[in-house]
Structure 1
Amino acid sequence: MVSIVKQIKFYMDDQTEEIIIHKLRTSGSVFAEEEAQLLISEAPTLDDLMKMVEMRTEGIPLEHVIGYTEFCGLRIKIDSEVFVPRKRTEFLVRQAETLTCLGDIVVDMCCGSGAVGAALAATLGRVALYSVDLDPAAVSCAGGNITAFGGHVFQGDLYTALPQSLLGRVNIVVANAPYVPTEAIKLLPREARLYEPILALDGGKDGLDLQRMIAKEAPLWLAPGGHLLLETSEQQAYQTFEIFSSMGLIPKVARNDELDATVIIGTKSGI
């Protein structure tokens, strides 16, 4: 039966919908029925729908096709050149929420779409949010996602992009920095390899280059008792833990098996 949504926008019979589902399933979609319904709901015309289906069957990430993703209950705008935040990164947000207070200064490093910072600001209310990314496409996308929360976005290389007035005053630095080893990029799913920015995936030879850089400078920017939170893999957790410790941060590991999510939290001494 044709849904109410489809009746309002355009007429499409059940046979056409089955063809779409078949196309998606044949191209490798595990959730072909759900993706078909989402594409149908987002397409303004039947012609647009068929173009979107073709994009998806070519391997373009669903979020790039429809232009957004759901993250921590928010609709986050996703441009075609920007990394798509994963469900597991919601665990990073939840860990940061437990450590953040109203009015805190929060830095979202390697912010991509700005999803992490936006989710924190949406939950906590008034925080001073500063988002940073090297990629101009990410900065543009993040700006659209965090403006409603009073956030500021800067383009540049990690901490060098931040106002110097924040030195020693930041309460939370949170980052989903790239942590895939360079040689492992070729093992990623096709849609990630081909359609997501390499800058957001490649963490260097062992995957930890960006983590080292972020952790090295964190003690200079964090206020006493402030926290650095980095997403990492379960396999890299010990190395990330050691990186934090070597930089003078007091580290601990947080793990969520259901989401396959690992976060290392480093605290600057309050002394």
Structure 2
Amino acid sequence: MQEFASPHTASSASSIVTTLRAAGCVFAEDETELLLSAAAGPAELAAMVERRVAGLPLEHVLGWAEFCGLRVAVDPGVFVPRRRTEFLVRQAVALAGRKPAAVVVDLCCGSGALGTALAAALTDVELHATDVEPAAVRCARRNVGELGQVYEGDLFEPLPGSLRGRVDVLLANVPYVPTDDVELLPPEARIHEPRVALDGGGDGLDVMRRVAAAAPDWLAPGGSLLVETSERQAARAAETVGGSGLSARVVVSEELYATVVIGTRPL
């Protein structure tokens, strides 16, 4: 925890905890530690606390999120990577690690957290990422850096045609919240994250259908598509992926409350 040149640091911390708790922050003590460590001084700390109390996601206030052991930059207006999605990355790392110089594509990449974490976990990866949101693309380019290329556009559209039939691992953390349920999300997500990163259409699977339909053209023989979904959508999602000609299976993490559908192109 950072110490400011003030005899009131402890009392200030206590006051911040009280303020955050009153604003509905469940982990007020942990958030206070993070804010104290991130602020350059009392004025910046006060401004950060004010933004958090106003409902801005903690990650947007800090400017970063912890994901797969990495500190990933997350700019205002960019989707915040969820801890449950670390399970998808673990599955992808296991698959990509079987192939030398695996070709990886991260669709709907947001901050680029998934592709960055996967590339950091392996020694040799050819990484490509896309997102339709300009703010997300700018953020992802900062995170991905020299690990790969980030393109702006809708799903596969901006990818180089030379990748067709060569992709070993296709990550697609698509939006899967049904349209009618978006308004039920916590204000942090509903107000401060782009709707395009949340709204998956009537049953939540509209974007997944588009990805699954096109995936076989981009996957290499034996390559896999990985998509996150909810437990209640898993059966329909697996049916959708299987209907595109991929061999589909569902994997679940009880610990992270995460559900991932993996579709593999036959050899």
TM-score of the two chains, using structure 2 as the length reference: 0.97
Distance in 2, matches of 1:35 and 1:11, equals 21
Give the match for residue 230 of structure 1: 227
Does structure 2 conserve the Cα–Cα contact (< 8 Å) formed by 1:69 and 1:78? yes
Please point out which of 11, 24, 27 is paired with 1:28: 24
Distance in 2, matches of 1:199 and 1:174, equals 17
Does structure 2 conserve the Cα–Cα contact (< 8 Å) formed by 1:113 and 1:138? yes
Does structure 2 conserve the Cα–Cα contact (< 8 Å) formed by 1:10 and 1:46? no
Shift of 1:126: 1.4
Paired-residue identity, %: 52
Give the match for residue 162 of structure 2: 165
Give the match for residue 107 of structure 1: 105
Please point out which of 215, 233, 238 is paired with 2:212: 215
Q: For 1:154, what is the secondary structure of its paired residue?
A: strand
Give the match for residue 94 of structure 1: 90
- Rate the CA distance shift 1:11–1:244 in 2: closer, same or farther, 3 A: same
Q: Tell me if 1:131 matches 2:129.
A: yes
Shift of 1:102: 3.1
Give the match for residue 244 of structure 1: 241
Give the match for residue 15 of structure 2: 19
- Rate the CA distance shift 1:196–1:11 in 2: closer, same or farther, 3 A: farther
Shift of 1:269: 0.8
Please point out which of 44, 47, 58 is paired with 1:48: 44
Distance in 2, matches of 1:11 and 1:130, equals 50
Q: Which is worse superposed, 107-116 or 13-22? A: 13-22
Q: Which is worse superposed, 12-21 or 55-64? A: 12-21
Does structure 1 conserve the Cα–Cα contact (< 8 Å) formed by 2:216 and 2:246? yes
Letter in 2 for 1:135: E
Does structure 2 conserve the Cα–Cα contact (< 8 Å) formed by 1:10 and 1:45? no
Unpaired stretches in structure 1, ≥5 consecutive residues: none
Q: Tell me if 1:143 matches 2:179.
A: no
Give the match for residue 195 of structure 1: 192
Q: Tell me if 1:178 matches 2:205.
A: no
Letter in 1 for 2:137: V
Give the match for residue 62 of structure 1: 58
Does structure 2 conserve the Cα–Cα contact (< 8 Å) formed by 1:107 and 1:129? yes
Q: For 1:146, what is the secondary structure of its paired residue?
A: helix
Distance in 2, matches of 1:266 and 1:15, equals 54
Does structure 2 conserve the Cα–Cα contact (< 8 Å) formed by 1:180 and 1:202? yes
Cα RMSD (Å):
1.1
Give the match for residue 257 of structure 2: 260
Distance in 1, matches of 2:64 and 2:41, equals 18
Tell me the number of residue pairs that the alignment of Structure 1 and Structure 2 aligns.
Answer: 265
Letter in 2 for 1:174: L
Does structure 2 conserve the Cα–Cα contact (< 8 Å) formed by 1:103 and 1:126? yes
Q: For 1:258, what is the secondary structure of its paired residue?
A: coil
Distance in 2, matches of 1:219 and 1:10, equals 61
Distance in 2, matches of 1:154 and 1:148, equals 14
Distance in 2, matches of 1:203 and 1:88, equals 18
TM-score of the two chains, using structure 1 as the length reference: 0.96
Give the match for residue 80 of structure 2: 84
Shift of 1:11: 5.5
Letter in 2 for 1:125: T
Letter in 2 for 1:69: A
